[in-house]
Each structure stands twice: as C-alpha cells, then as structure tokens.
Amino acid sequence: MLRKVTREDFQKLFTWVNDEEVRKNSRYTEEKNLEEYKDWFFKALKDKNLFMFIEVVDEKDVGQVKLEISQQEITFNYSIAKEHRGNGFGTATIRDAQSFINENKDLFIANSKLVAYIREGNIPSCRVFEKLGYIKVFQCEDYVKFQKSAV
C-alpha cells in the first residue's frame, strides 16, 4: 500500500537516495548533498506535478516511488530499501502507483503515457516494468526507456 511522503520522511529518503546500490542503478549516480537534497525535498512536497509515496508492507516502509507529470508523460522513479530488495516489492510499488493514477485520473493529463527511464544494466528494474506490460521504446548505452498507455 502507498502512503504520501511527509516532512518526517526526509531523513529516510535522503538515506535511501544515497544508498550505493540505488545510486549505481540510477540515471544520476552522484551522491546527493544534504543541503541541496533538503532544498529539493521541501520544494517537491509542494509541487503539484510531483507525487511522492512510500510503499508500506506489514507496517514497514519498504521503498519509495515518485510520479512526475510533464507534458503527456507520467514518469516513474522508484527504489526499494536495501533490506527489502529481492522480495517483489518493486513490482508491488509500481502496481500500487499505477492504481493511484487510475483512481485519480482527474489529477493527470488525459492520454498520458506511463514512462520509466532505467539504467541500462539494472536488470531487476527492467524486469519489473516488462512484467507490468511496459514496452522498450528507446535504448542507449546509459538507459532504457519503458512506456505504456495509461489505463
């Protein structure tokens, strides 16, 4: 189940975004600076085009997902906490985010495409999106773009 990110999630998300494995598999691999991330985070909480959630399973925070609206796309960005990887939570998180979109269509641009940009060697994340019916629409040496129509 998803819950909205709150101010109290700042430290947890800062830790997760700087996890070595998360950075290695991210499009942007550099470590985040505390002050810059803090500035971004508190602005992001107010951004009407950005939805941030924590995936909760058995009362434990297992990962995060961001949905960013731009033009005709809803871009997914997610990660799973180190201690919860390999348990199917990536698929559950994206599935729950898709459900949020479907249940709140009035918040999104009509006919938007669901999109994810995955680092080209991040096989587990590629499998998550393939399993959920996304199609590779672009690939380069840095990343793969997956896409599907909003349901």
Domain ranges, ordered by start, for the chain: 2-114
CATH topology of domain 2-114: Aminopeptidase (3.40.630)
Q: What is the DSSP string of 70-113?
A: ETTEEEEEEEE-GGGTTSSHHHHHHHHHHHHHHHTGGGS-TTPE
Confidence of residue 109 (pLDDT cuts 50, 70, 90): confident
* Confidence (pTM): 0.93
List Cβ neighbours of 30 (8 Å cut-off, separation of 6 or more): 23
Q: What confidence tens digit (pLDDT) does each residue in 45-73 have?
A: 999 999 999 999 999 999 999 999 998 99
Alpha carbon distances (Å) from 38 to 34, 104, 144: 6, 28, 29
pLDDT at 122 exceeding the cut of 70: yes
Tell me the C-alpha distance between 9 and 18, whole Å: 14
Instruction: Please give the mean pLDDT across all residues of the chain.
Output: 94
143-149 and 135-139 strand pairing: antiparallel
pLDDT at 111 exceeding the cut of 90: no
Chain position carrying tokens 């992001």: 44
pLDDT score recorded for residue 120:
86
Neighbours of 41 (CB within 10 A): 18
pLDDT score recorded for residue 151:
59
Please provide the distance, in angstroms rounded to a whole number, between the alpha carbons at the two ends of the chain.
Answer: 19
Averaged pLDDT, 12-28: 88
With the C-alpha atoms ordered 18, 108, 147, 137, is the resulting torsion angle positive or negative? negative
pLDDT score recorded for residue 29:
78
